[in-house]
């Protein structure tokens, strides 16, 4: 060759990495080193990228760059931060980041996007704040990652701030930023803002854009509108993908559209060549289960050629809990345990089903079995933001500085809605105790405490936005609808399943969640 071999290898490694031929890129690196050619600042960045995307340890390449004296080289160090972040080795990424004598926007963005990708949203948002404080202007990749973490952390106010920064920096026309904005607003319950961003986008031929809105409408209890948007998407010539159909089937499930759900499930493979996966089967089981068609749901699973995961059986178990079918629930629980013996969900759901049926002996048996196996359930918690501060609550929580006020407000709420006809549904209580104790336990669920604090701290004209890590129970759902009416407030509750927009005594889910 007319060029030095090292230069030729660098060009080939870089080209293979950019083309997605990552195994070939790593093979060329080994060949290069075996022939006595030294890796340099042009070799290592693409090699690190390929290694990370192949999920190969980056330590050997890290040692190689240290021996080459390239640890302080900006582009090489950036590539190393990016590689460790992609491998979810956050401690190593932070260590390299902290030791860098100089950083640029790529450095910050590499760490930020890696944290966001691995769902370390609070850490990602801290990096974004530090980046801005350091005077480094974010690029479109940093903004998109920050918005993704705002969605994951339900940080609506910060998301609005990032949106403002994107407009100020003229980054909002980028497709990745627009997609992230639609998704962020939809996932934080601001559907109007999501639609406004969508309508303002100059180019939205991207499947991700349409899918973000379809899923957003579905999660916010607007199933029929979700299907209408899908119709617009198809008419625009944009093809749906695997995720699009999850959103569609979710929309059908939460709107009770059984026939439409069946039709879309069939059209996945017939019209679009997309084989249904476990997520689609879970949505179909949820759809049929909510409609009380448990036999049809089981028949669908028995005919499936897809390898079903625990999500599918959890959907069936939830339907069995709703319709109090203990026999089928026990079968679904056994299937979940076969896949993951340490999963706490079947224990909790079976305990809930038995308690609603007053089968306290079975409740005790399930709890004893759970304790013997050392399995603990995820504690329910709810949080609400006020004046830029997030306040977290657990059931029977008295650790808040304003706990006395909050509990007085809970009592006031209960008395007020009781005067409007509220009667506690103590079947949702898990304790085997007297009616008064079970009713009191329900009144002190984490979401009720969060709403009470919201009434005290959130300005009258603003919605009270509450987020819960688990599903809201039926009694709290009924009570909070009445609280919204009694106090003339809008309560937006996002539980583990969907959004509930409560106003004037009604909920966007149509009591079908």
Give the per-residue pLDDT at 63: 85
Q: Is residue 101 part of a domain?
A: no
Give the per-residue pLDDT at 184: 95
Q: Is residue 309 part of a domain?
A: no
The count of domains in the chain is 1
Give the per-residue pLDDT at 393: 96
Q: Is residue 411 part of a domain?
A: yes
Q: What is the pTM for the complete model shown? A: 0.81
Q: Is residue 459 part of a domain?
A: yes
Q: At what angle do helices 242-255 and 223-235 cross, to 10 degrees?
A: 150
Stretches in the chain below the pLDDT threshold 50: none
Q: At what angle do helices 191-200 and 207-219 cross, to 10 degrees?
A: 160
Give the per-residue pLDDT at 434: 57
Q: Is residue 290 part of a domain?
A: no
Separation of alpha carbons 258 and 491, rounded Å:
29
The boundaries of the domain holding residue 391 are: 381-507
Give the per-residue pLDDT at 232: 93
Q: Is residue 427 part of a domain?
A: yes
Q: Is residue 399 part of a domain?
A: yes
- Phi, psi (deg, nearest 5) at residue 341: -65, -15
Give the per-residue pLDDT at 433: 56
Q: Is residue 102 part of a domain?
A: no
Give the per-residue pLDDT at 15: 93
The Cα angle at residue 175 between residues 171 and 176, in degrees rounded to 5: 80
Separation of alpha carbons 78 and 61, rounded Å:
13
């Amino acid at each position: 060759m007319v060029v030095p071999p090292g230069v030729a290898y660098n060009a080939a490694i870089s080209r293979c990495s950019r083309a997605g031929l990552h195994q070939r890129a790593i093979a060329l690196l080994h060949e290069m080193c075996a022939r006595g050619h030294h890796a340099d600042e042009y070799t290592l960045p693409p090699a690190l990228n390929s290694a990370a995307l192949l999920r190969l340890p980056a330590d050997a390449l890290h040692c190689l760059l240290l021996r080459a004296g390239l640890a302080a080289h900006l582009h090489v160090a950036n590539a190393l931060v990016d590689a460790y972040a992609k491998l979810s080795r956050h401690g190593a990424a932070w260590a390299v980041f902290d030791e860098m004598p100089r950083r640029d926007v790529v450095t910050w963005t590499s760490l930020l996007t890696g944290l966001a990708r691995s769902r370390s949203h609070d850490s990602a948002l801290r990096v974004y704040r530090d980046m801005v404080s350091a005077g480094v202007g974010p690029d479109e990749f940093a903004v998109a990652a920050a918005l993704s973490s705002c969605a994951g952390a339900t940080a609506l106010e910060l998301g609005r701030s990032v949106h403002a920064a994107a407009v100020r920096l003229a980054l909002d026309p980028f497709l990745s930023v627009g997609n992230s904005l639609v998704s962020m607003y939809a996932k934080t319950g601001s559907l109007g803002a999501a639609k406004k961003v969508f309508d303002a986008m100059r180019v939205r031929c991207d499947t991700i854009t349409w899918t973000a809105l379809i899923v957003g409408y579905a999660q916010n209890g607007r199933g029929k509108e979700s299907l209408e948007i899908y119709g617009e998407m198809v008419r625009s010539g944009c093809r749906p993908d695997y995720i699009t159909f999850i959103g569609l089937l979710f929309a059908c499930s939460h709107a009770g559209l059984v026939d439409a759900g069946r039709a879309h499930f069939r059209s996945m493979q017939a019209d679009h060549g997309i084989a249904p996966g476990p997520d689609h089967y879970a949505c179909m089981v949820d759809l049929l289960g909510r409609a009380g068609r448990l036999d049809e749901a089981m028949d669908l699973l028995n005919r499936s050629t897809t390898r079903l995961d625990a999500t599918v059986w959890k959907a069936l178990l939830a339907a069995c809990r709703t319709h109090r079918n203990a026999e089928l629930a026990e079968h679904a629980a056994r299937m979940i345990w076969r896949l993951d013996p340490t999963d706490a969900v079947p224990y909790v759901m079976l305990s809930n089903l038995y308690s609603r049926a007053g089968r306290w002996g079975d409740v005790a048996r399930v709890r004893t079995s759970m304790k013997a196996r050392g399995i603990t359930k995820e504690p329910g918690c709810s949080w609400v933001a006020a004046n830029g501060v997030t306040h977290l609550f657990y059931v029977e929580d008295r650790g808040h500085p304003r706990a006395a006020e909050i509990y007085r407000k809970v009592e006031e709420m209960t008395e007020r809605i009781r005067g409007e006809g509220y009667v506690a549904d103590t079947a949702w209580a898990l304790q085997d105790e007297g009616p008064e104790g079970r009713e009191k336990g329900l009144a002190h669920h984490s979401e009720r405490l969060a709403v009470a604090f919201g009434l005290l701290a959130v300005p009258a004209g603003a919605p009270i936005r509450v987020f819960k890590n688990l599903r809201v129970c039926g009694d709290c759902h009924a009570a909070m609808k009445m609280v919204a009416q009694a106090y003339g407030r809008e309560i937006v509750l996002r539980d583990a399943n969907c959004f509930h927009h409560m106003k004037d005594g009604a909920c966007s889910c149509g009591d079908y969640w």
